[in-house]
Structure 1
Amino acid sequence: MPYIEVEPGITMHYEDRGTGEVIVFVHGWGGSGDAWDLQVLDLAPSYRCITVDLRGHGSSDKPWGDYNYDLFVRDLNVLVSELGLERVTLVGWSMGGHIALKFAHEHPEKLARVVVTGSGPRFSGTEDAPYGTPDGEVQGLVDAIKIAPIETIAGLYGNNFHRTDLTATRDWFVQTGWKVPAFVGVSSFQALLDNDLRGVLPSVQTPVHIFSGRHDAIWDPRWSEEAHRLIPTSTLTYFENSGHVAFIENRIEWNATLVDILEGRAPTESTGAVAPAE
């Protein structure tokens, strides 16, 4: 398995498959690069697909410390630089999309475009943007991860899905989350809550394409709409039969929309609707 040293004595695991235009995939909170397995299967015949395990996740090193966004962005920048990647398409899911937006603000010269799915500029609600878990209640989520991480991860990851026919896939996602050390889960979740990118998004010049599951119960889709409003170079696509994992639940449409973007076609505003019963 390939690893890259992101700082002395600490390595980050990644997988590099396919050839062509480069896509770097970043997973969400408590996940790993394996979350993108179906995208690699479908896209690697035509594109170079690089999946990463963020520090503390998957097969990457898990040293004691503070798992904040500055650290994750720095690690990703080392990967992109050391592999000599140029004009990268950076794709991030959930927390990975949040990190990708921060990366776009800080390292626009490395990117051709950004795609975020099930994400936005902020996770919790505020008085001026009451989307998702109210700001005053998010501490309860942090406390739950501290007190009962196994049960909390099972609950959060179980709510990733809108479709009811993907039980085994849902269970696999839960098992992936259980492999992340509790101290990493708590610290990185706190970082997710602490980062409000609304102030910097209007200055992002990199094209940003926002994907949202219409029924996302984890990251309120209205934050996707807010990101679209704030970023002048953005598009927004809804996936109509999906929750938080549109790249799984609307896999065919999600991948096709990404290919449209890569090939210079304008993405549709809505796709993946369930056909009405006859």
Structure 2
Amino acid sequence: MTDDPLHIDPNWKSATVDLDGVKIRYLDNGGTGPVLICLHGTSMTAHAWGHLGSTLKDQFRVIAVDMRGHGASDRPNTTYTIAELAGDIARLAESLDLKGITLMGSSVGNQVAVSFAASNPDRVAGMILSDPSFFVSDAEIVKYLRSHHTRRRNYPTRAEAEAFARALPQRAGLSDQMHGLAMQGDFRQEDDGSWSWAYDLLAITKLFFNLSTDQSGDISAIHVPVLVLNADRSNVLSGNQAEELTRAFSNARLEVVSNSNHTIWGDQPVLLANTARAFLRDLHSA
């Protein structure tokens, strides 16, 4: 995989909004064009979108959200349903008065995006779904949960924490730069000076069990242009499933991303940024 160092800018503006008692942190690239809201996958954070936000800053405003239970956002003991997380995005969009939004997700972030779009059609202009998790198998869910529940949670130093994160098999396709961007949000420092994963284990456990939510009604309610991206080495979305999902939308097309695992944002960041730019340009020039 290749990456472009000229398009790596870690200087996001970080802000927090209080949404009915739940504080949600988001990163804003400071662009002034049409809005792209990015939603990360389970156990990830908004920092995964650093390359995308930097690359598109010249034409588009990119807002990347730490969904509840993740990153610097609150970790309330709630249900962590897809609809609940989508409700946070709806209140965030209302708080920031965002309209004409394009949504981009990774993994479960796509499911949250679809729930939001179905419930807020007046705010949504289009969607880019990056290797969606609608069809993730029970076996894969068990595999992921076992990985998280057996993973060491706390590390004496940040260097030890980052060494563990870098060695994760699902990040094998990331460049050094993309590892660095993701790890900006991976950990938080505890009062004793140690470092812990910046996601709540109970929260993501609930979220994994909610992946199998039937969203066929949401999908049928969405009529804006949709681009479905399917990683050719995905362990979550097969080619047949990607085609089935694309057909379920009224206005969607499918692109296969070569040389990529499920984490397209990290394995193919340059291609993803170029694809997003082309989609956004077409959407807003129509």
How would you bin the TM-score normalised by the shorter chain?
A: 0.7 to 0.9
Which of 150, 168, 175 is residue 148 of structure 1 equivalent to? 150
* One-letter identity of the residue aligned with 2:107: S
Which of 241, 263, 270 is residue 252 of structure 1 equivalent to? 270
Which of 16, 23, 29 is residue 11 of structure 1 equivalent to? 23
Find out whether 1:176 has 2:186 as its counterpart: yes
Find out whether 1:78 has 2:94 as its counterpart: no
Q: 1:139 to 1:113 in 2, by over 3 A?
A: closer
- Give the alignment of 1:1-278 within 5 angstroms: 1-8=14-21, 10-17=22-29, 18-124=31-137, 135=138, 137=139, 140-141=142-143, 144=146, 147-150=149-152, 158-161=168-171, 163=173, 166=175, 169=178, 173=182, 176=186, 178-192=197-211, 194-264=212-282
- Once the two structures are superposed, what CA deviation does each residue of 1:254-277 show, in whole Å capped at 9, x if it has no partner? 211111111117xxxxxxxxxxxx
Which structure 1 segments of 5+ residues have no match? 125-134, 266-278
* One-letter identity of the residue aligned with 2:207: S
Separation (CA, whole Å) in 2 of partners of 1:146 and 1:21: 36
2:233 counterpart SS class: coil
Separation (CA, whole Å) in 2 of partners of 1:31 and 1:221: 24
1:270 is matched with none
Structure 1 window deviating more from structure 2 (195-204 vs 224-233): it is: 195-204
2:210 counterpart SS class: helix
- Once the two structures are superposed, what CA deviation does each residue of 1:81-121 show, in whole Å capped at 9, x if it has no partner? 11001110111111101111122222111100011101153
Separation (CA, whole Å) in 2 of partners of 1:248 and 1:105: 28
2:90 counterpart SS class: helix
Residue 45 of structure 1 and its aligned partner are, at CA, apart by 2.0
Q: Retained in 1: the 8 A contact 2:141–2:208?
A: no
Separation (CA, whole Å) in 1 of partners of 2:252 and 2:98: 23
Q: Retained in 2: the 8 A contact 1:122–1:195?
A: no
Residue 240 of structure 1 and its aligned partner are, at CA, apart by 0.8
1:264 counterpart SS class: helix
Residue 16 of structure 1 and its aligned partner are, at CA, apart by 1.7
Separation (CA, whole Å) in 2 of partners of 1:22 and 1:92: 14
> Looking at both structures, which has the greater relative contact order when contacts are Cα pairs under 8 Å and sequence separation is at least 6?
2
Which structure 2 segments of 5+ residues have no match? 1-13, 154-163, 188-196
Residue 32 of structure 1 and its aligned partner are, at CA, apart by 0.6
Separation (CA, whole Å) in 1 of partners of 2:224 and 2:182: 31
Separation (CA, whole Å) in 2 of partners of 1:85 and 1:180: 27
1:104 counterpart SS class: helix
Separation (CA, whole Å) in 2 of partners of 1:168 and 1:259: 21
**Percentage of pairs with the same residue:** 22
* One-letter identity of the residue aligned with 1:140: V
2:78 counterpart SS class: coil
1:24 counterpart SS class: strand
* One-letter identity of the residue aligned with 1:39: L
> Cα RMSD over matched residues?
2.7
* One-letter identity of the residue aligned with 1:62: R
* One-letter identity of the residue aligned with 1:16: D
Residue 217 of structure 1 and its aligned partner are, at CA, apart by 2.3
Separation (CA, whole Å) in 2 of partners of 1:150 and 1:99: 28
Q: 1:256 to 1:113 in 2, by over 3 A?
A: same
Separation (CA, whole Å) in 1 of partners of 2:181 and 2:63: 21
1:195 counterpart SS class: coil
TM-score normalized with structure 2 length: 0.77
Q: 1:214 to 1:105 in 2, by over 3 A?
A: same
2:76 counterpart SS class: coil
Q: 1:242 to 1:83 in 2, by over 3 A?
A: same
